[in-house]
Amino acid sequence: MDAPAELIAILRKVERAAVLTGAGVSQESGLRTFRDSQEGLWAKYEPTDLATPEAFARDPKLVWDWYAWRSEAIKGARPNRGHYALAEMEAAIPNFSLITQNVDGLHRFAGSRNVLELHGNIQRVRCSVCGEFAENWDEEAEVTPACSKCGGLLRPHVVWFGEPLPEAILTAALVAVKECQVFFSIGTSGVVQPAASLARAAQTHGAIVVEINAESTPLTLQADYFFQGKSGEVLPDLVKEVWGKA
């Protein structure tokens, strides 16, 4: 890949960058998208019918078991070259924020440090009442595990439909977006709010916007640079061109 010379020059000097990643990055590690993840016993359920506070209130064990199944499937996944390239990028840029819509934890696995997980992390569990995080629970229990602190039901640490994003994480993401000089949108459809508005916010505050995606999105025509392709192929090449490593 031959990146435009002006973009290479910008990236070599950039001091503040923000990145937004979506499901396309995880797909290259063999993970299905949220809506395409059903199989076997779960094929008869719509994911959107299970990922709501109402579904958990109605049948907490069903929702718990589904997320336990998804979490187990994710445990076998490994970061791909795109994940590792982003970790290299973070090492090269003084002020770097990685904002992700993914809940699989693969960015941290690959070595990224300043990760803002907008939608939570499926490998973590917290109390549905007091919010306390749990480190241990009976995975073989016939009922939904309870919080050792208050007795409330434990739930996956993910954002369900109808729930707000974690305020502190969203605030940090907005600050990073408004202060960055370059903003990357990678492997995301650009339609899920409020993440979809981040690129426009960055551009409004003077940032160069770079999109990397397998297909064009609503952002493509507004982006300053668009690279069509898999992030696991485009990012390592870009990092190598700019910083000589990938």
Question: Which CATH number does the domain housing residue 85 bear?
Answer: 3.40.50.1220
Q: What is the pLDDT of residue 93?
A: 98
CA gap 83, 111 in Å, rounded? 8
Mean residue pLDDT of the chain comes to: 91
d(CA 109, CA 142): 31
Structure tokens at 196: 């979809």
CA distance 82 to 113: 15
Tell me what pLDDT residue 73 has: 83
Regarding whether 225 and 129 lie in a shared domain, the answer is no
For residue 226, the enclosing domain spans 5-31+79-119+165-243
Helix (H/G/I), strand (E/B), else coil: 221:
coil
Cα 103 versus chain centre, distance: 6
**Model pLDDT, residue 40:** 52
Residues 48 and 152 in one domain: yes
* 188, 207, 210 from 203: Cα distances, Å: 17, 5, 10
Which uninterrupted H or E stretch holds 228? strand 225-228
Question: What are the C-alpha distances in Å from 125 to residues 67, 98, 148, 163?
Answer: 10, 22, 12, 16
Task: Answer yes or no: are the C-beta atoms of 45 and 39 closer than 8 Å.
Answer: no
What gap in Å lies between CA 218 and CA 205, rounded to an integer? 19
User: Which pLDDT score, from 0 to 100, does residue 191 have?
Assistant: 75
Phi, psi (degrees; rounded to nearest 5) at 220: -50, -50
pLDDT score at 92:
97
135 and 25 co-located in one domain: no
Beta partners for 154?
127
> Same structural domain for residues 174 and 131?
no
Residue 103 near residue 121 (C-beta atoms within 8 A): yes
**How confident is the model at residue 31, as a pLDDT?**
86
What's the pLDDT at 139? 75
| Among candidate residues 227, 215, 219, the one with its CA nearest the CA of residue 202 | 219
Please indicate, yes or no, whether residues 144 and 65 belong to a single structural domain of this protein. Answer: yes
Q: For residues 72 and 153, state if they share a domain.
A: yes
* 15 and 126 inside one domain: no
- Write the pLDDT tens digit of every residue in 26-82: 999 988 766 555 555 556 677 778 899 999 999 999 999 999 988 988 888 999 999
What are the per-10-residue average pLDDT scores of the chain (246 residues)? 91 98 92 62 71 95 91 90 98 98 96 97 96 87 91 96 94 97 94 85 97 94 96 96 83
Structure tokens that stand for 134 in this block: 């749990």
* pTM of structure: 0.92
Q: How many domains does one find in the chain?
A: 2
Task: Count, in order, helices (H) and strands (E) of the chain.
Answer: 10, 9
Does 226 lie in the same domain as 107? yes
Would you name the residues annotated as active-site residues?
Answer: 119
